[in-house]
A = this chain, B = another copy of it.
């Protein structure tokens, strides 16, 4: 077959395939309960109960979720640590009593590898969370948790992100002695995720089309859904070239609301949990400023006057909801990129493995 006869992939075909593969990737991860039990056991026996997470891009977004997973399940303090403080400034932090958890799809992000090396020297129990158990990151870590997301070809992460979120949830659940229960819930979530992708896939283009010329957007979420807001904003930036900024519901009111007008849309993630009133209030402010509102999440229908509603199935815990509520954002980014004539599989200027400092 000559190259002229090679099937030409549709722009965004890989991105869409990988969005669809998420439930399956999630189920692969859930099978690896023993890995999580072992690492969680080590964290507990070492008393390494302050969790310092590092990563860039989607990995850092998943870390935002980790703050809530460790906070709500074993009631441990988890933080997105500063890489610069340790790697560039060489701060002599005492990391005993800490787990340093490095997130990197490829396991090759230079400053993340260097951070983990330093963290180990400073007394932390070091864990690599990566798709590549043979990577440099894995080699410098005390323990490795494989993500099992499978080969990810689109530059913009989808199944890696959702497996990172699920992995942080599982690790926190095992640390709280409820790993099996959480794993069982993840199986339900995987099924719901599959239905959600199917049900949104065909209609999403019609929702994205009116935003074909949008230059900027806020994505609002609070609590565990702040991770989702960050991840959706990043997908819009990298695949659609929309200047999308993630904000907590309260931060919107502390300044950024002044920038809104009818040409500055707001995406709000409304989950049916304790943060809902804050999100509802933030959207009211945005609507007063004239913003067009897209509401998603399990409580999307509670956002009064939303222009577009993309509901996701409800789930039994605020720690499960983010796995579902990210899906409409991924599909919207896929559809919007195509509406803008962009190929979401190959954003300009990006490569799959980022070696930038």
Contact = CB atoms under 8 A, between A and B. Distances in A.
Contact of A354 (B60, B223, B254, B348): B254
Contacts of A239: 258
Contact of A237 (B256, B288, B354): B256
A58 B256 CA distance: 11
Tell which of A90, A111, A241, A242 has the most Cβ of chain B within 10 Å.
A241
A82 to B, nearest CB: 5
A357 B243 contact: no
A249 B253 CA distance: 27
Interface in A61-112: 67-68, 71-72, 75-77, 79, 82-85, 88-94, 111
Contact of A348 (B76, B234, B258, B318): B258
A286 to B, nearest CB: 9
Given A79-B79, A111-B250, A249-B357, A84 B241 contact: no
B57 A251 contact: yes
Contacts of A289: 348-349
Interface string A237-276: 1110111010011111111111111001000000001110
A75 to B, nearest CB: 5
A259 B258 CA distance: 23
A6 interface: no
A349 B285 contact: yes
Contacts of A252: 356
B93 A82 contact: no
A234 B282 CA distance: 17
Given A72-B91, A245-B243, A274-B89, A253 B223 contact: no
Given A57-B251, A216-B243, A357-B277, A349 B82 contact: no
A75 B251 CA distance: 29
B238 A350 contact: no
A302 interface: no
Complex copy number for this chain: 2
Nearest to A284: B356
A264 B243 contact: yes
B318 A89 contact: yes
Contacts of A249: 356-357
Contacts of A92: 75
A326 interface: no
Contacts of A52: 77
A298 to B, nearest CB: 16
A326 to B, nearest CB: 15
Contact of A356 (B84, B234, B250, B259): B250
A278 B243 CA distance: 22
Enumerate the 7 nearest inter-chain pairs by beta-carbon distance, A residue then B residue, closest first: A57-B254, A253-B356, A258-B347, A216-B243, A238-B255, A88-B274, A84-B223
6 contacts: A58-B254, A71-B82, A72-B89, A75-B93, A88-B278, A288-B349
